[in-house]
Amino acid sequence: MKLAPIRPATQPSGSGGLSLVHLLNTPNVLTLCRLFLIPIFLAMLSKHRFNYALYLFCLAALTDALDGTVARWFDSKTEIGAYLDPFADKLLLLSAFVALTLENMLPGWLLGVVVIRDVVIVFGYFLFSFLTDERIPVRPSYLGKASTFLQLFCIIGALAQISRSWPRDWYAMLYLTVGVTALSGVHYAYQGLVLLRTREPEMFA
């Protein structure tokens, strides 16, 4: 077994403990905290406690920024973290978009574009893995990062409008979010097709 050296005093007795040690490093703990904050955020939102919901969502978004930074600074990236982090991001954003749309705080067409884009990306990833028997690294593009930032901003803006009576003339930001989100979905799909062509060129003959 090729494992990183561990001091005998802290070495776990079994493989299950070793897996737990690798799982519970600082970036992954931050990601797990983000997952645990989602039901609490939705509970506050369902009770129309918009101030608390806003604070919880901002805290969850902060953990999203911190986990990647900590992983890079301390060279503590793990394979499970590479998959757990985007999963937590998508679950947080989709949960917030669905809940806010049901509360009539965000338009349904924005939710539709976000959901379709994410479904296309996830379906494309699993289709590529099925056809090539290969797992590609999960690396967001600049457009993907921009769409995530704009989606976070829209959610925070929607919560702040209700709780602090912000003005409602911010539809330009919603349109920009839809455009960048759709464009990032097209870009990911194009990248997937190009990568698939290099692995399975006979499919494009």
What is the per-residue pLDDT for 16? 45
Name the most confidently modeled range: 23-37, 69-83, 142-156. 142-156
Which parts of 1-48 fold into alpha helices (H)?
Answer: 15-23, 26-46
Residue by residue, DSSP assigns 45-70 as HHTT-HHHHHHHHHHHHHHHHHHHHH
* pLDDT tens sequence across 138-190: 677 899 889 999 999 999 989 987 755 556 667 888 999 999 999 999 999 99
CA angle 28, 99, 80 (to 5 degrees): 15
What is the per-residue pLDDT for 88? 87
Q: Is residue 4 pLDDT above 50, yes or no?
A: no
Superfamily of domain 15-204: CDP-alcohol phosphotransferase transmembrane (TM) domain (1.20.120.1760)
Nearest residue to 159 via CA among 42, 32, 34? 42
Count of Cβ atoms closer than 10 Å to residue 191 Cβ:
13
* pLDDT tens sequence across 10-22: 444 444 444 555 5
Low-confidence winner among 6-10, 26-30, 61-65, 133-137 (lowest mean pLDDT): 6-10
Domain boundaries, the chain: 15-204
Name the more confident of 201 and 40. Answer: 40
Name the more confident of 101 and 82. Answer: 101
The letter for the amino acid at 203 is M
